[in-house]
A and B are shown apart, each in its own frame.
Chain A
Amino acid sequence: MITVENMKKTFGDQTVLESINFNVNKGEVVCLVGASGSGKTTLLRCLNLLEKPNEGKLKIGSKQVEFGKTKLTKKDIEEIRQYSGMVFQGFHLFPHMTLMENIIEAPLTVKKRDKKVVMEEANEILQKVGLVEHKDKYPDALSGGQQQRAAIARSLMMHPEVLLFDEPTSALDPQLVREVLKVIENLAKEGQTMVIVTHEMNFARRIANRALFMDEGYILEEGPAEKVLTDPREARTREFLALLEDE
């Protein structure tokens, strides 16, 4: 589904990603973990070209791009993005639209689909994330957990092959984290391919097939989530996990 080869990303003279190699198979859930500043969010954002890598290759679906040689065209970026959806730490729902309007926006504006069909589908998806009764409310009237579930519904409406999550629960009050994780867990059960940047280690152990531990721009350790997040090989990974335990 996703193949990343020798990806490198710098901001000015600061190297954020150093020769990253990994892949994600169809139906797999991969968690990216690591301390803040380790490059995991940047790596995730490179997968849909919200950040443009400086070197390397990215293949997603049947589209491949190479960085650093020629300039990316608009078409390259469009084609890469049609395979993925993204859920942000800060939700980023459109505040001037109701929930329903939020989630039918892209299918109508981008895909020019029939409004009636899209509305039906939207109702189903809202049902799935437990928000049907809130569909006519504005985001501002909802809790963070509800907003994040709506944001997930919004990306699902575009039928992404892979869903990218950037710390989806980090901005939430502790009691709201569970309802969002539950939705993600259900998606995992349905076989949705996902790449998740998260600090929720128990959640990651439970639902992820694989975990990548990032440290200073490298993937330091990679393997089955159970193994990497419980009994890691690297000392740095153990240190990181121990720090989280302390909290």
Chain B
Amino acid sequence: MFEFFSEIKWEYLYDFDLAIDSIPFLLQGLRITMIIAGFSMVFALLIGIVVGIARMSKLAIFRLPAKFYISFMRGTPLLVFVFILYYGLPVIGIEFSSAIVAAIVGVSLNFAAYLAEVVRSSISSVPKGQWEAAETLQMNYFQTLRRIVIPQATRIAVPPIFNIFMDVLKGTSLASVITVQELLYSGRLIAGRTYDSMTMYITVAIIYWLVSVVIGTIQSKLEVRYNRYLAKG
């Protein structure tokens, strides 16, 4: 037991000098990560709302494609889907202008499916009485959705949406596989050059974690805001 610990080369655990020296380079990678994550969150949410509402439609022409889309995207690994986009599509003559664009498209389309499920479940969790009250006040479907249901569904949806946003952030690291020079890719470059994988990947991990803490803080702020109409305790 103690022999195991004594064999560990603690002096190689973390090289602070290297970590600090590499930060400017890593931050350039982080910029790309944030671009992919930011666009993907927005697009995924927009697509998710549309697909989620279509999934609840009474009309099969909306409901069934939405159902298929969600099933396919949830049932395939993001990495495989990104490969289809970036390596597969050029075979049939469709090429993305850059790997970043391919990454944004892949991450958005994939996470949109999860968000669609959140949209659907949070909208259906708004009590039926709310729809009926709005109906008897002569509000139409979209007025009811926009003014009554979505504001209430949003409160319920915030925590799961932000869980997915954190997955989006982490999911962008797969873009490194298709040569996008984002945070993980940048870390890998330095790790390859310095042979200090431990220091570099711990540093990269900490940067992802710090960004996720910021996302979590935004989530808490929103939760307070959306819960303001509930009686305390």
Q: How far is the CA of A50 from the CA of B127 in the complex (A)?
A: 15
Question: B127 contacts which chain A residues (CB < 8 A)?
Answer: 92
Decide: A96 and B229 in contact? CB cutoff 8 A: yes
Assess whether B132 is in contact with A92, with CB atoms less than 8 Å apart. yes
Contacts of A164 in B (CB 8 A): 136
Report the Cα distance A85→B143, complex, angstroms: 18
For the complex formed, measure the closest distance between the CB of B224 and the CB atoms of chain A, giving whole angstroms: 14
Chain A CB count within 10 A is highest, among B132, B140, B230, for B132
- Closest Cβ of chain A to B135, distance in Å, is 7
A88 pairs with B133, CB closer than 8 A:
yes
A48–B138 Cα distance when bound, in Å, is 10
Asked whether A48 lies within 8 Å of B229 as measured between CB atoms, the reply is: no
Interface window among B48-56, B108-116, B145-153, B211-219? B145-153
Q: Is B130 an interface residue (CB 8 A)?
A: yes
Specify which of A48, A90, A94, A109 is in contact with B136 (CB 8 Å cutoff): A48
Of A29-37, A76-84, A218-226, the stretch lying at the interface with chain B is A76-84
Decide yes or no whether B231 CB sits under 8 A from chain A. Answer: yes
B: contact size bracket? 20 to 34
Interface centre among A85, A106, A138, A139 (most CB of B within 10 A): A106
What 1/0 mask marks residues of chain A from 39 to 73 whose CB sits below 8 Å from any chain B CB? 00000000010100000000000000000000000
| Cβ B152 vs Cβ A95 within 8 A | yes
Let me know if B129 is at the binding interface, CB within 8 A.
yes
Whether A110 pairs with B155 at a CB distance below 8 angstroms is no
Asked whether B80 is an interface residue with its Cβ less than 8 Å from the other chain, the reply is: no
Q: B residues within 8 A CB of A93? A: 133
Cα A155 to Cα B147 in complex, Å, equals 17
Q: How far is the CB of A106 from chain B (nearest CB, A)?
A: 4
What's the nearest-Cβ distance from chain B to residue A52, in Å? 13
Nearest B-chain residue to A140, judged by Cβ: B231
Asked if A158 is an interface residue, CB under 8 A from chain B, the answer is: yes
Q: Which of B135, B138, B229 lies at the interface centre, i.e. has the most chain A CB atoms within 10 A of its CB?
A: B138
Give the residue name and chain of the A residue nearest to B144 (CB): A109
Contact (Cβ within 8 A) B137 A155: yes
Q: For B130, what are the chain A residues with a Cβ–Cβ distance below 8 Å?
A: 92, 94
Task: Point out the residues of chain B lying under 8 angstroms from A50, CB to CB.
Answer: 132, 135-136
List, in ascending order, chain A residues with CB within 8 A of B229's CB. Answer: 95-97, 138-140
Option from A85, A138, A140 in Cβ contact (under 8 Å) with B137: A85
Chain B residues, Cβ within 8 Å of A48? 136
Bound CA–CA A103/B220 (angstroms)? 30
Q: Give per-residue flags for A102-134: 1 if the beta carbon is below 8 A from chain B beta carbons, else 0.
A: 000110011000000000000000000000000
Tell me whether A244 is interfacial, beta carbon within 8 Å: no
Distance A85 CA – B147 CA, assembled complex (angstroms): 19
Contact of A85 with B136 at beta-carbon distance under 8 Å, contacts A92-B130, A140-B231 already known? yes
Per the bound structure, the CA–CA distance linking A139 and B231 in Å amounts to: 9
Measured CB to CB, the nearest residue on chain A to B151 is: A96
CB pair B137–A154 under 8 Å, yes or no, is yes
State A82–B136 Cα separation when bound (angstroms). Answer: 8
The answer for the CA separation of A110 and B130 in the assembled complex, in Å, is 16
- Given A92-B129, A94-B148, A140-B229, the answer on whether A110 and B136 have CB atoms closer than 8 Å is no
Known: A88-B129, A92-B133. A110 touches B138 (CB 8 A): yes
For the complex, give the distance between the alpha carbons of A48 and B148 in Å.
20
Q: In whole angstroms, how far apart are the Cα atoms of A138 and B112 in the complex?
A: 33
Given contacts A88-B132, A97-B229, 13 further A-B contacts (CB under 8 A): A50-B135, A82-B138, A85-B136, A88-B129, A88-B133, A92-B132, A94-B130, A106-B139, A109-B147, A110-B138, A140-B229, A155-B136, A155-B137
Residues on B facing A (Cβ under 8 Å): 127, 129-130, 132-140, 143, 147-148, 151-152, 155, 229-231
30 contacts between A and B (CB under 8 A): A50-B136, A78-B138, A78-B140, A81-B138, A84-B136, A85-B136, A85-B137, A88-B129, A92-B129, A92-B132, A92-B133, A94-B134, A94-B148, A94-B152, A95-B230, A96-B152, A97-B229, A106-B134, A109-B139, A109-B143, A110-B137, A110-B138, A110-B139, A110-B140, A110-B143, A138-B231, A141-B231, A155-B136, A155-B137, A158-B138
